[in-house]
Amino acid sequence: MKRIYMDYAATTPVDPRVLKAMLPYFSKKFGNTMSLHSFGQEAKKALEEAREKVAKLMNAKSGKVIFTGSATEANNFALKGIAFANREKGKHIIVSAIEHHCILEAAHWLEAQGFEVTYLPVDRYGLVDPGKVEEAIRKDTILVSIMHANNEIGTIEPIEEIGKICKQKGVYFHTDAAQSYGKIPVDVEKMNVDLLTASAHKMYGPKGVGALFVADSVKIEPLLHGGGHEFGLRSSTVNVAGIVGFGVAAEIAKKEMKSEAQRLTKLRDKLIKGVLKIERSYLNGHPTKRLPNNANFRFDFIEGESLVTFLDMKGIAASTGSACSSESLQPSHVLLAIGLKPHEAHGSLRLSLGRWTKKEEVDYVLEVLPKIVEKLREISPYKGKW
Amino acid sequence: MKQSLPYSKQIIEHFKKPRNMGRIKSPDAIGEAGNLVCGDVMRLYLKIGKNKKGEKIIKDIRFETFGCIVAIANSSMLTTMVKGKTLEEVMKIKKEDLIKKLGKPLPPIKIHCSILALDALHEALYNYYLKEKLTMPEELKREHERIQKTLGEIEQKHKEFVEMEKKGLS
């Protein structure tokens, strides 16, 4: 049976070019970046070259790119590192209601440590209103963290504007660009960000590597103390092979982003147009301000896990924000934040495209999906009305 | 299909080809369990008949389910277990019996989905006894009260969750 991967927002395969570049660093060039001998220097050189490539793709001309073990770590580092380094200045942090769990959970933890957090609402497309950010900023606000693009519904936030406001108010601004870095232009200067999170495995690099950009002016405490790696901000023996992979992935993205984004946008819009022909189906997220590879739908009267399972049986890998697929049995906080009722959120489906998605695969999904929706509606007690 | 799902063959089989799916036109009783908030709602339709001994049996049963793979598979499985059985036999079916039939152990988070089908059946029987003005078996009454109580708790929990979210957003 055909197997079609439409879950690139969850993770991506490592590009063969990336893998090829990584391989020598597992065995031949295995040195520790902190060693003084030639093995160490070889590794150190590879690390710094990768850092430059990753920095280039976000147009970071100054400041530091600090490699971490994941985007989750980078986000935790940003929030907790800023909070603890600046608590004399204030104890207030602003995030949006649709941030990734690693931001929200870090924020909750900081609340338990005595910090105050404002969770900004979004509109029905998932957009944060920059005016609301401005209103929420207080004298004791030390950090605003708003994601660049949402991982579930693909909405791209007005980061540049929010950044401008934060700059004027003298508040640090962090953006989680795990979903956007490598897919759409990310420019730390233009976006007015002080901190930015990126992830390797969302853009054809390996898992286990993330990065946090930190501008020179930022006061931040490390999470990990030890041998003083990564400018003393992230001690740990450096994952050279993974980071080399991240660097090459960034290099490839820089070269291919423009044409690839155009190609994916076309495929995405074809997919959206086709799926919305299904009766009582809806697009979640913004029609145009969205990642080129993200399509997120909901279908009345059916439940997402069943839908994803049937799709899987037909060889199509997708994901859902249904409660049934979560540990908490609560539907996706993102879908609730854009105003969906729980039963509506249960019927959501995310299809995310990537470097190896072909037109034929989109056609196949458009052929299979309506039949599955129909079948599940036959089983459902809700027919025509809730 | 690659065996990537954490479910047994039995569950996958029933999910792919649900038995006794749909509605009965003029049912003798309907039972509903679950809640849209948590994502599983099940409706069972019963047609009651009599066997040669004159005992009441489940002559026909149909289900409709809004829910995940376990919920759908379970509804289907339960209908095959009770069709043709006397009401007395049916009432003896325990949730353990149903879970056992489903093959390998379910992930803990899915246990509640698997109990739902039985809840819907008990609700249908309860409604049948009520409608026919028959003496209500004590265990059915207890089950009914338990099911209604859980339903109330889910609604309460959800209300609290929504309020918490709202508070967080203000």
| pLDDT tens per residue, range A296-325 | 999 999 999 999 999 999 999 999 987 665
Higher pLDDT, A155 or A327: A155
pLDDT confidence tier of residue B2, bands split at 50, 70 and 90: very low
Give SS3 for A354: coil
Where are the domain boundaries for CATH 3.90.1150.10 in chain A? Answer: 4-10+256-379
**Stretch B2-31: mean pLDDT:** 87
Q: How far is B7 from chain A (nearest CA, A)?
A: 11
Return d(Cα A75, Cα A61) in angstroms, integer.
Answer: 21
Q: What is the pLDDT of residues A317-364, one digit of tens each?
A: 999 987 665 666 678 999 999 999 988 999 999 999 999 999 999 999
**Stretch B139-150: mean pLDDT:** 92
Q: Is B38 a catalytic residue?
A: yes
**Stretch A216-231: mean pLDDT:** 98
Q: Reply yes or no on domain A16-252 having CATH 3.40.640.10.
A: yes
B111 neighbors B15 (Cβ within 8 angstroms): no
Higher pLDDT, A373 or B101: A373
Interchain CB distance below 8 Å, B165 and A312: no
Sheet bearing B56-66, strands edge to edge: B29-35, B40-50, B56-66
ipTM comes to: 0.85
Return d(Cα A361, Cα A169) in angstroms, integer.
Answer: 48
Higher pLDDT, B35 or B136: B136
Tell me: pLDDT of A3 over 60. Answer: yes
The count of residues in chain B is 170
The CB-side HSE value for A165 (13 A sphere, CA atoms) comes to 21
Q: How far is B52 from chain A (nearest CA, A)?
A: 33
What are the contacts of B132-137 at 24+ separation with CB within 8 A? B137/B91
Task: Pick the residue of B13, B62, B69, B153 with the most A CBs within 10 A to test the interface with A by mutation.
Answer: B69
Separation in Å, CA A290 to CA A65, A183, A185, A264, B22: 26, 11, 13, 12, 39
Q: Kindly identify which residue of chain B lies nearest to residue A97, measuring between CA atoms.
A: B169
Sheet bearing A348-352, strands edge to edge: A281-283, A294-299, A348-352
* Residue A329, pLDDT score: 65
What percentage of chain A exceeds 70 in pLDDT? 98
A302 neighbors A377 (Cβ within 8 angstroms): yes
Average pLDDT taken over every residue of chain A? 96
Q: Which of A160, A179, A370 is nearest to A293 (CA)?
A: A179
Q: What DSSP string describes A290-352?
A: B-TTEEEEEETT--HHHHHHHHHHTTEE-B---GGGSSSSPPPHHHHHTT--HHHHTTEEEEE
Tell me: pLDDT of A270 over 80. Answer: yes
Q: What is the pLDDT of residues B71-90, one digit of tens each?
A: 999 999 999 999 999 999 99
Q: Kindly identify which residue of chain A lies nearest to residue B21, measuring between CA atoms.
A: A379
Tell me: pLDDT of B37 over 60. Answer: yes
**Stretch A258-279: mean pLDDT:** 98
Q: Which residues of B touch A (CB under 8 A)?
A: 1, 4-5, 15-16, 18, 21-22, 32, 36-43, 64-69, 71-72, 109, 113, 158, 161, 165, 168-169
Q: What is the reported pTM?
A: 0.92
Q: Which helix (H) or strand (E) holds A172?
A: strand A172-176
* Residue A325, pLDDT score: 58
Give SS3 for B86: strand
Return d(Cα A32, Cα A46) in angstroms, integer.
Answer: 11
The strand ranges marked E within B40-158 are 40-50, 56-66
Q: What is the pLDDT of residues A78-90, one digit of tens each?
A: 999 999 999 999 9
Return d(Cα B92, Cα B77) in angstroms, integer.
Answer: 16
Where are the domain boundaries for CATH 3.40.640.10 in chain A? Answer: 16-252
* Residue B82, pLDDT score: 96
A365 neighbors A4 (Cβ within 8 angstroms): yes
- Which fold would CATH assign to domain A4-10+256-379? Aspartate Aminotransferase, domain 1 (3.90.1150)
CB-CB neighbours of A339 under 10 Å: 14
At the second CATH level, the architecture of B9-169 is: Alpha-Beta Complex (3.90)
Catalytic residue among B113, B118, B121, B140: B113
Report CA Rg, chain A: 21
Q: Kindly identify which residue of chain B lies nearest to residue A372, measuring between CA atoms.
A: B16
Interchain CB distance below 8 Å, A324 and B40: yes
Angle of the B138-169 helix axis to the B111-131 helix axis, nearest 10: 130
What percentage of chain A exceeds 90 in pLDDT? 95
Tell me: pLDDT of A16 over 70. Answer: yes
Q: Which of A277, A121, A272, A253 is nearest to A198 (CA)?
A: A253
Q: Is A166 a catalytic residue?
A: no
Catalytic residue among A324, A339, A375, A380: A324
Burial of A366: CB neighbours in 10 Å, binned 0-12, 13-18, 19+: middle
A132 neighbors A101 (Cβ within 8 angstroms): no
Tell me: pLDDT of B170 over 60. Answer: no
Return d(Cα B150, Cα B69) in angstroms, integer.
Answer: 22
* Residue B167, pLDDT score: 61
Separation in Å, CA A342 to CA A150, A279, A321, B113: 19, 20, 10, 17
pLDDT confidence tier of residue B103, bands split at 50, 70 and 90: confident
* Residue A383, pLDDT score: 84
Q: What DSSP string describes B9-23?
A: HHHHHHHHS-SSBS-
What are the contacts of A167-173 at 24+ separation with CB within 8 A? A167/A192, A169/A134, A169/A137, A169/A141, A171/A137, A171/A141, A171/A142, A171/A143, A171/A144, A172/A82, A172/A86, A172/A142, A172/A143, A172/A144, A172/A218, A173/A143, A173/A144, A173/A145, A173/A146
**Stretch B118-126: mean pLDDT:** 96
Encode B63-83: b = buried (16+ Cβ within 10 Å), e = exposed. Answer: bbbbbbbbbbbbbbbbbebbb
Tell me: pLDDT of A215 over 80. Answer: yes
Interchain CB distance below 8 Å, B21 and A379: yes
Contacts of A380 in chain B (CB under 8 A): 64-66
Contacts of B154 in chain A (CB under 8 A): none
Give SS3 for A209: coil
Nearest by CB to B65, from A327, A333, A379: name it.
A379
Tell me: pLDDT of B23 over 90. Answer: yes
Interchain CB distance below 8 Å, B169 and A119: yes
Interchain CB distance below 8 Å, B64 and A305: no
Burial of A273: CB neighbours in 10 Å, binned 0-12, 13-18, 19+: exposed
In this structure, of A27-41, A190-204, A238-252, B110-124, the range with the lowest mean pLDDT score is: B110-124
